[in-house]
Amino acid sequence: MAPPTRAESFRAEPFHAEPLRPKRRFLRPSVIPGFGLAFGYTLTCLGLIVLLPLAALVTRASGLGLAGIWEVATDPRVASALRVSFGVSLMAALTASVFGFVIAWVLTRYRFPGRKIVDAVVDLPFALPTAVAGIALAALYAPNGLVGAQLARIGIEAAYTPVGIYIAMVFIGLPFAVRTVQPLIAEIDKEIEEASATLGAGRVHTLVRVVLPPLIPAVLTGFALAFARGVGEYGSIIFIAGNLPYVSEIAPLLIVIKLSEYDYGGACAIATLMLGISFLTLLAINLIQAWSRRRFGYV
């Protein structure tokens, strides 16, 4: 306990005898100035830049009514595009999570030459514009490309098939998978592992039963982030996808196509669906983290 101070002695005065917060009010009083300015500015920007345009989207889509949106969503081509977007993104996020975990583990636990460079490289997809990534991946994985030629030899067509979409999604999702798990691996108390080992558990047993469980929420969060990013991705995918309806057409591209057909209603309906699903993903992340807070006491 800190010794009593001047401020604390104020507390005893009858002036402040009533409960500190008798009623709920919007802002808790503070000596720090600038709330009004900062809050007003924040709200105005948020309203004009984010909320107003998004409201325009939802208004436009709600013009169709729930039945109308459902009709668009169940249109075979739209349904198939949504399936491709979500299905491939799911697989890509899974891959990114597994390899992301290995990369995060290697980067935090092992010392090897060039580790810091490898660590920096992980963030490349954050920094590289998606269009650049798109044409580079297309050049690399096309049948006449460096990697594509090798894959073609073993009978895998990468570019212009869902495999190409998968590759692009792994590319953009990987950093999320690595960066959410990495700090938690660094935080693991090695004494627990030592204790586990001392008590006779083998290394595999220790990893599976002691080390991994607390990391699961972080892995899930990374997975959800990679998934959400993959679902919405456009720039890197269109160059490598092939864009064939029912096979390799992604939902964001279908929005662009609907726009080209002057079908604003259809475009808005797909956009709203995607928005709704990303909200659900956001919610899932929140639930995972809330669960993990209860279960493990941290996020």
For other proteins, the binding residue among 77, 205, 209, 295 (CB under 8 A) is: 77
> Residue 46 interacts with other proteins (CB under 8 A)?
yes
User: Which long-range CB contacts under 8 A does 74-82 form with residues at least 24 apart?
Assistant: 76/246, 77/245, 77/246, 77/249, 77/254, 78/251, 78/254, 78/266, 78/270, 80/245, 80/246, 80/249, 81/245, 81/249, 81/250, 81/251, 81/253, 81/254, 81/270, 82/251, 82/270, 82/273, 82/274
Minimum CB separation of residue 107 from other proteins in Å reads 7
Q: Is-contact 211 128, C-beta < 8 A?
A: no
Collapsed DSSP state (helix, strand, coil) of residue 163: helix
Q: Which residue has the tokens 């739209």?
A: 78
Q: Which of residues 237-296 bind other proteins (CB under 8 A)?
A: 239, 242-246, 249, 251-253, 255-257, 259-264, 266-268, 271, 274-275, 278-279, 281-282, 285-286, 289-290, 293
> Residue 69 interacts with other proteins (CB under 8 A)?
no
Minimum CB separation of residue 66 from other proteins in Å reads 19
Minimum CB separation of residue 89 from other proteins in Å reads 11
For other proteins, the binding residue among 74, 83, 203, 212 (CB under 8 A) is: 203
Q: How far apart are the first and last CA of the chain?
A: 28
Q: Is-contact 88 165, C-beta < 8 A?
A: yes
Minimum CB separation of residue 16 from other proteins in Å reads 6
> Residue 128 interacts with other proteins (CB under 8 A)?
yes
> Residue 232 interacts with other proteins (CB under 8 A)?
yes
Minimum CB separation of residue 86 from other proteins in Å reads 12
Q: Which of residues 166-185 bind other proteins (CB under 8 A)?
A: 167, 170-171, 174, 176, 179-180, 182-184
